[in-house]
Structure 1
């Protein structure tokens, strides 16, 4: 499996809101960048052991540059602090991708819900829905108006966009946009976990698409079931790798010398999604839909395990 990877130049560095920095990335030789669709994200390698995923929030038709937005997180793990404090216009940064686990599916009607920096993957979706002639609305909340990015950019859509600063208007009125959804409406939501959980509780089955920046809280299996030793058979070579309790499938196969793609190790980016040839995966990711989990055709090997004693993977 191959993927695009290159050193890109920070062509522009702009402030989109309090604590939100927008970086525009270009190829140093002005080469065209790979095409992408709304919902895609890229991996940005900021240093040894410091790799983060950011949604592309520019124009998919512009092959000359990619745009990302980075929220400065006070209690983060160092990625946003590095971007805000160290990266300057003219600097180069290694970027991989794009990948898309949050695709905009065709529909006549959409309801978009964003919380804070969760507005970023939705921006190109709004433009795509508009171009397609779909009926849509956006409900966008944040702690304060000053901390909500891209509000001026959104103004062109008029009353289809509802801006809700919490310090002025309180929490988002989800009932106003999610109750009584028509069967042909898709809901797209991105933001903090509590917002996604609240939206999920109101949406009919099959209507919701979400992207999480942090792993979803899951009910792990009992130690005898969820953390027991099991075998992974590598279908391409026939080799068998033992996955010990407390060791991820990803670490086990890498430890056996198998090259696999990986990034976040939290089950949120989708880089390590692997085809399941045989066996019953114990899904613990925040990417796959319930339908995809039930089908059991792929799994994210950085966090998911096996419900039985043996998995056969396309590795």
Structure 2
């Protein structure tokens, strides 16, 4: 399969006008099969005779019904962030329609690094704390970037402090129209009733799925942040709440508390109304799982085998559901049915 894909990529690059002259693809191999994409590493030799160069690159192929939009969002967002000096890999090529693989793809620089999550297992507590600080500083730096280049209409965000939360609520409404999800509606109603708690004091650039697995650390300790399919402009608290939810369900309450404490220390202030955004994050996670179960992974732009992965993460889903119930006092029948099916 890799040889066939390498030949297809070679033919594509030879016939497509790009910044690379006389390109030759070497050593294409799969390195990751994630929720949202297939990731391949390869080397690209290019240049004129006597001045050939070899670049380490990544080919990221997107599945699902919204694949073209995800590819474009990631490419555009990473391009802007790279120009702003934020530590992301440089992106080189976006293909939405003429892909030889039948799915959109992006080509970007390959980072020689390992995910931060693995390094958080270091037995040295000072090393671990330094990693937590590095991670939180990356997120705060992102939240403090000039967000206006990321959207075509920044004035809309400045005009109304509730623009962001209203968009998030509208997305929930869209998901809740999926057959079988009516039992989640009371949680949405809980959020609507407390909408006044979610005024956005200033919009921010957000990652949308920032956690230690999406931070690669090079040998010299410098970081590169990857996986930008959810990049957008929103309230930074949506981003932080999602991060803390992912960390909490994977590592437990104590780790979640450590990351939050360090974020607040570096930010210089406590995060206001975080419980509201915590409920939002938990509901979104449960709805994504429910839509995958009821409609299939393609509806959410995810790989076909993601359901098997979700089944193995039953305890993480239980953590999310317990947290939602603790905040709201609400039970969700469909979530409980899914949890029971995962446990069987």
Larger RCO of the pair (alpha carbons < 8 Å, separation 6+): 2
Is the helix fraction higher in 1 or 2? Answer: 2
Q: Same fold (TM over 0.5)?
A: no
Q: Normalising to structure 1: TM-score of the pair?
A: 0.27
Is the strand fraction higher in 1 or 2? Answer: 1
Q: Normalising to structure 2: TM-score of the pair?
A: 0.25
